Amino acid sequence: MKAKILLLMILTALLASGGAFAGTYSGPTDTTHSIDPAISKSDSSILGWATGWEDYLPAPDVDSQWRTPENAINNTPGIVTLGDLDQAQIEGGVNPGEITLTFDNAITNGARFDFAVFENGFVSPSDPYLFAELAYVEVSTDGTNFARFDSITENDYGWQGAYGRAFGGYDSTGFCNLAGKHANNYGNNYGTQFDLDDLTDHALVLADLVDLNKINYVKIIDIPGIGVVDADGNPLDPPHPYFTDSAGNPIYDNWLTTGSGGFDLDEIGVLNQVPIPGAVWLLGSGLLGLIGIRRKRASSQ
């Protein structure tokens, strides 16, 4: 496990033991946080966007109007929905919704963050609470071997608002390395950034099955945030957490949602990428031109 994530987990445990159970990470619109700042969709550091998709496998009950994966590429307006799962589907082993996006120019492991995922969550009822539909994030070089980012949740069942668990607000400062924790709706346009450095100790990276300097695929997998409490607020029997962070803590988010329920993918923005072939050619031709000029000057002296 990456040392940074391990240290964050230790910090989380210390805070929990002291009674302070949230607040370690960025809020829904916080672009200056030292650990996991949000990024604006209009930020000039975004070099490009996902250009293709494959393996769109939504949950069973997604309305047809939200099943348009083309909305998640090339900075196209709109969303594609992965869908939510009810308790019977979860206990029956139905897979959560997922989609894989592809890139004409691979994402590479550069300085700080390397790509950002934009959902359509919104502040509710007030910052730092967020109507949050969360997802795991995985990356791959070959489209077969996917490395998942370690994630952290400090949140318990508690939510804020007047409309119940499905439409309440969860404390966004209690999540880290989960897509969907930043606000991208109703006047906000923020996404969640991911740093490929966090995967340097992943088994697939160490086995050379995932090349962090050539990420061609990013997979988003919805998290039905049931935690260990059913829709009526009763503890599950047995209290088995179906969806957890990397330390085994149950994940809670807005559940159960329907129609466009579950994670709604807007876009994936690229912050570090393999140079575009044309740009490489221009750079190379420019260097050759400079060399030619220097040789010409030298021969004329």
* Structure confidence by residue, pLDDT tens digits, 91-123: 999 999 999 999 999 999 999 999 999 999 999
Q: Any bridge partners for residue 215, and if so which?
A: 107
| Residue 110 burial (10 A CB sphere; 0-12, 13-18, 19+) | middle
* Structure confidence by residue, pLDDT tens digits, 262-284: 999 999 999 999 987 654 444 45
* Structure confidence by residue, pLDDT tens digits, 14-72: 444 333 445 899 999 999 999 999 999 999 999 999 999 999 999 999 999 999 999 99
Residue 211 is predicted with a pLDDT of: 98
| Residue 294 burial (10 A CB sphere; 0-12, 13-18, 19+) | exposed
Residue 59 is predicted with a pLDDT of: 97
Cis upstream peptide for 85 (omega within 30°): no
- Dump strand ranges (E) for 50-91: 52-57, 80-81
Kindly give the residue spans of alpha helices, DSSP state H, lying in the chain.
3-17, 87-91, 203-206, 277-300
* Structure confidence by residue, pLDDT tens digits, 214-264: 999 999 999 999 999 988 888 998 888 899 999 999 999 999 999 899 999
User: DSSP letters of 133-146?
Assistant: --EEEEEESSSS-E
| pLDDT-based confidence at residue 10 (cuts at 50, 70, 90) | very low
Residue 268 is predicted with a pLDDT of: 98
Distance, in Å, from the CA atom of 250 to the CA atom of 240, rounded to the nearest integer, reads 9
199 has a pLDDT exceeding 50:
yes
| pLDDT-based confidence at residue 189 (cuts at 50, 70, 90) | very high
pTM above 0.95, yes or no: no
Instruction: Read off the pLDDT of each residue in 196-213 and give the average, rounded to a whole number.
Output: 98
Over the chain, what is the mean pLDDT? 88
Is 223 within 8 Å of 83 (Cβ atoms)? no
Residue 4 is predicted with a pLDDT of: 53
* Strands of the 215-222 sheet, one edge to the other: 52-57, 98-107, 215-222, 135-140, 146-148
| pLDDT-based confidence at residue 286 (cuts at 50, 70, 90) | low
11 has a pLDDT exceeding 70:
no
Residue 162 is predicted with a pLDDT of: 80
